[in-house]
Amino acid sequence: MTYPKARIPTDPVLCTASFSGPDRQHVPSVTDVDHVVHVTSGRMAIGLALQQMQVAAFDEILLPAYHSRSMVEPVIWFGAMPVFYRIKADTAVDLNDVAARITPRTKVLVVVNYFGFPQDLVALRAFCDAHHLLMLEDCAHASIGAHAGKPLGSFGDYAIASTMKFLPVYDGGCLVSSRNRLDHVKLVSAGLKFEVKTAFNTLEKAFAYGRMKPLAALLSIPMHLKNALWGLLKSRSAVDAGPVGPRASDGGFGFEAQWLDKKASVTSRLLLATVSMPRVAEARRRNYLRLQAALADLPGCAPLYPVLPEAVFPWVFPMLVDDPDTCFPILKHAGVPVIRFAEFLWDGLDESVCPVSVDLSRRVMQFPCHQELRETEIDWMIERIRTILLATPVSMAMRSTKPLQASA
Ligand SMILES: *Cc1c(COP(=O)(O)O)cnc(C)c1O
């Protein structure tokens, strides 16, 4: 099923205001952790983490049954065995189930701070220590935030983040560790073509959503020239036929090992260093609360999390919907930037492994709350969501949202 492009940006797009934020105190972030390396995606950071943990063939890696396939692919690439554990209805790790799945081959427990909301990381750290497991903290949804007074990413033996999910960059992922040095990890540049592509892509995305209009006008001739030149280069050289960027940047789930030793682009690292994080943090909380308030009275749906705790800077607004099969495609066709990050679970993962995960992968819809959404865009999105959800059969029957109730 192909849907039209979203009418408003699903992910952050660069705008002139991206750099000027409220002058407030430091926003806690995974990059506060002592040892940091910047790669091209979150999944490459997972790959490097597995390498650092010396994961070998047939080692068992405990992964949550509620996941993105891009987390499983690196495990498969290393020849290790993914073992899926259950999560609870509030997305907390089910430690009883994890304990039951530990074998002498179990090496790593991967925990996800879903949507920016931290797990009980102190308890998880203690559990891993007690069971001699390495902990990989997946902060792909939680580049910024803190828990128990420490930045996210500092609880795991290693942690990863996906810069693309938080900032207006084409590529970017971080591997961090509070416990192990990373300066021996040698990364190389992906080359000039990649650098050019990442710089232009950031601008093109911004221009496509009407951002930075004066610059768009100024650059319109150079951009056309670049496209012409690009087309010419492609038609001339057969050796250059492959993609210039990682597919991780274009919405795929696969693991392309040739990116494992590649540095994040200069553009990505530059923007990570210069974009105003207080602005990102403040806008994400504000937009999240706005969506929550505006959608609270809709029948047949409820926010996945009842409250937004302090020091949580959400990736998206996750909403539990009774009748996703009807409204998800309608929302998509209307150009609403709705996603389900766990829409496609790993092959064979069904109710017998974790009924909650199967249910959440269908019913949790995520709407953007990122810093670059304009007031008018949020108004439009809220109006579309309300109209579409009120018109679906579940809403009309005024059924209440009950977790795990299978909708017919
Ligand atoms: C997106 C995602 C990843 C992978 O990040 P990429 O930057 O897309 O490679 C890892 N874990 C979770 C939970 C994700 O949602």
Is the pLDDT assigned to residue 206 strictly greater than 80?
yes
pTM: 0.93
Indicate the DSSP class of residue 401: P
pLDDT-derived band at 367, boundaries 50, 70, 90: very high
Which residue in the block uniquely carries the two structure tokens 């012409």? 228
Q: What is the pLDDT of residues 97-139, one digit of tens each?
A: 999 999 999 999 999 999 999 999 999 999 999 999 999 999 9
- The answer to whether the CB of 268 is under 6 A from ligand 1 is no
- C-alpha to C-alpha distance for 107 and 49, rounded to whole angstroms: 12
How many angstroms is it from 112 CA to the middle of ligand 1? 10
pLDDT, position 395: 59
Residue 321 pLDDT: 96
Residue 127 CA to its chain's centroid (Å): 26
* Ligand 1 pocket, mutate which of 87, 138, 152, 341 (most atoms under 8 A from CB): 138
175 lines ligand 1 (CB under 6 A): no
Asked if residue 238 has pLDDT above 90, the reply is no
> How far is ligand 1, taken at its centre, from the CA of residue 42, in Å?
5
75 lines ligand 1 (CB under 6 A): no
Q: Give the E-state strand segments of 168-236 in sequence order.
A: 173-177
**pLDDT tens digits, 319-328:** 999 999 999 9
pLDDT at 243: 66
Distance from Cα 99 to the centre of ligand 1, integer Å: 25
Minimum-distance ligand 1 atom for the alpha carbon of 173:
7
What pLDDT score does 237 carry? 63
276 lines ligand 1 (CB under 6 A): no
Ligand 1 atom closest to Cα of residue 44:
9
Query: In b/e form, how buried is each residue of 14-53, taking b as 16+ CB within 10 angstroms?
Result: bbeebeebeeeeebbbbbbbeebbbbbbbbbbbbbbbebb
List Cβ neighbours of 4 (8 Å cut-off, separation of 6 or more).
Answer: 332, 333, 335
C-alpha span between 113 and 129 (Å, rounded): 19
* CA-CA-CA-CA torsion sign (193, 265, 12, 242): positive
pLDDT tier, 240 (very low <50, low <70, confident <90, very high otherwise): low
Residue 162 alpha carbon to ligand 1 centre in Å: 6
Q: Tell me, what's the pLDDT at 408?
A: 35
